[in-house]
Amino acid sequence: MLGAIAAFLAVSVAVAGRSPRASADERVPTDGAEVLERVPPKGADEGRAARSALSRDPRDVRAAVALAKTYVRRARATGDPRYLGRAQAALTPWWDDDPPPLDVLVLRATIRQSLHDFEPALRDLDRAAKLSPGNPQVWLTRATVLTVRARYPEARESCMSLAGLVDRIVVVTCLASIDGLTGRAKDARDGLRAVLGHGASRDMEAWAEGVIAELSERLGDTEAAERAFARTLELDPEDAYTRGAFADMRIDQGRWADAIALVRGQEANDGLLLRLAIAERGAGDPQADAHVAVLADRFAKSRLRGDSVHRREEARFELLRGDGARALELAQANFEVQREPWDVRVLLAAAVAARDAQGARAAREHVALHKLEHPEITKLIKMLDGL
């Protein structure tokens, strides 16, 4: 979906002078952790070339943006927010400009969003929309931030602003992502399926299938969700967000071995390592304890750095360790900042574990107000009712 489980947004920012119509080959995001435009990864060479250019001219904006993008992609791949600090450092000559160059402005918004600094990110995006109203990336990123903040009417307006700038399927998928959070999951899925087969690019199909997978899961149609998740990963094996979401569904089903198979080998990513530890614990795998220890160390170091972007994941981790009170504290703090379905789930689950029905009142109000659908959320609310 537009909002992120992994919590980080890797983006390639459109530069000034770009055609306002998005190419059919461009990547459209499934959520806050997705790239907004496909840029072929070049590994270490990409960063080396940008650093070399900056050593010759520290105000080479193109080189600075290229280097910052490299770091943002690494943050997305590893779940390590320190790369976001490096991305910001690369943009230092323009970071405090009002406004900076357009590509820096949108990338600054992306970095701020990735650090959960949502209101400054929105201010940047509002400025970018005025400067370049024909830039689809601005509207997509704005829709992402507004969705994470549960400001759904405004997010829909951003999606509608894409009309005439991108192919129709992009607009439909953007809207379906929001409709799926506001009680219209079935209609959203039906509408998306209706347009999916009409010449969508591989990347566009991957995004749409990922949205269909999550809509299907929320509707309790796990067979359709599994097919769509599998198809998404077939189209884009590097999609860490979908890999994590698929693993979550298998964990919900108690399919521990299948969940482990999805995320084993991805331990560099904190979110995927967390899912691995949860699945291993469920399966009685002795490796779970070692992975729990690694996660404990990573979260401790993150706290020492003052990072707060992993509160949702840390709350899930405390649930894994059996500390319901600490999980509830983290989940409540997280819910003040972002309100995606997993933020709701974690807060409800933490309240159940802490036996504190009132502790999840904000999540329950959110579900009732927006008619959020999900079988696991329904189960958790029933459990709270029984406390």
Instruction: With respect to residue 66, please indicate whether it lies within any of the assigned structural domains.
Output: yes
Element (DSSP H or E) covering residue 81? none
pLDDT of residue 73: 86
Q: How far is CA 60 from the centre of its chain?
A: 30
Number of separate domains in the chain: 2
Burial (Cβ within 10 Å: 0-12, 13-18, ≥19) of residue 293: exposed
**What tens-digit pLDDT sequence spans the chain (387 residues)?**
553 322 333 333 222 222 222 322 333 333 333 343 333 344 445 688 888 888 788 888 999 999 999 999 888 777 678 899 999 999 999 999 999 999 999 999 999 999 999 999 999 999 999 999 999 989 999 999 999 999 999 999 999 999 999 999 999 999 999 999 999 999 999 999 999 977 788 999 999 999 999 999 999 999 999 999 999 999 999 898 999 999 999 999 999 999 999 999 999 999 999 999 999 999 999 999 999 999 999 999 989 988 888 899 999 999 999 999 999 999 999 999 999 999 999 999 999 999 999 999 999 999 999 999 999 999 999 999 999
- Alpha-carbon distance of 359 to 274, in angstroms, equals 24
Please report whether residue 351 resides in a domain: yes
- Give CA–CA dist 100/362, Å, rounded: 38
- 372: in domain: yes
159 in a domain, yes or no? yes
Of the residues 101, 136, 164, which one is the last residue of a structural domain? Answer: 164
The CA distance from 212 to 206, in Å, is: 10
**Model pLDDT, residue 108:** 97
Is the residue at 241 inside a domain?
A: no
**Has residue 171 been placed in a domain?**
no
Residue 335 domain boundaries: 310-387
pTM, to two decimals: 0.86
CATH number at residue 154: 1.25.40.10
Q: Which of 142, 164, 186 is the last residue in one of the domains?
A: 164
Domain boundary among 164, 179, 200: 164
From first CA to last CA, the distance across the chain in angstroms is 32
Contacts of 85 (CB under 8 A, 6+ apart): none
78: in domain:
yes
Residue 220 lies in a domain: no
